[in-house]
Amino acid sequence: MKRLVKGKIYDLVKFKSGDDKLYDLIHGIFNEEIVKGFISPEYLMLKSRNNVKKWVDSNSKCKRQVWYAVRFKRQYIGYINYKWNECFEDACELSIVLAKGFRGFETGYIITKTLIDYLLKEKLFKYIIAYSIKSNKLAEKLLRKLGFKKSNRLHTEITEKLYSENVSLNIKLHYNLFTISTK
């Protein structure tokens, strides 16, 4: 996995231990009230800077997840990642979160497009997937603009294989699955 993915405006810099700017960014994001409904609830339990530091350090070494800080003019403005399951290497899931003041349709589009282009070029997966909360129409619009197609037909199969667990009713009721087929 590349340590740096260069984009036209934003660069993606792989997480690394000991990066105080990265710790500060993630700590700020995880402590924002507005992100509560949009990121994994487990991240919201990482309120202290020390817990965030441990989380960043462990994700910088993870073998089935690749985490990038989004850099704009020497400043970190968010993170994006892709992850997969060792028992199901056909699909990877993308996630992106931007810091307050940098959130916007075009910013998210450009950053996500940079990572998608990299993944398509490397031909690592059969599917690139993203989940969107059903009420988040802006996220759905962004995913469609990026070339994703709503794939609730594959929702159960991919989610069970990717996470090695039964799809909870909560996931099926509240999220739509979007995919890009790379083959």
Express each pLDDT in 104-162 by its tens digit. Answer: 769 999 999 999 999 999 998 999 999 888 888 888 999 999 999 998 777 777 777 77
pLDDT band, very low/low/confident/very high, at 167 (cuts 50, 70, 90): low
Contact 66, 81 (CB under 8 A): yes
Residue 48 or residue 38, greater confidence: 48
Position 66 pLDDT exceeds 90: yes
pLDDT attached to residue 166: 59
Q: What is the SS3 assignment for 10? A: coil
C-alpha dist (Å) from residue 180 to 70, 91, 93, 108, 151? 22, 10, 11, 17, 9
Q: Which residues pair with 14 in a beta bridge?
A: 68
pLDDT attached to residue 168: 56
pLDDT attached to residue 138: 85
Residue 166 or residue 99, greater confidence: 99
Alpha carbons within 13 A on the beta-carbon side of 131: 21
Say which CATH topology domain 4-181 has: Aminopeptidase (3.40.630)
φ, ψ of residue 96 to 5 degrees: the values are -140, 140
E strands within 86-165?
88-98, 127-133, 149-150
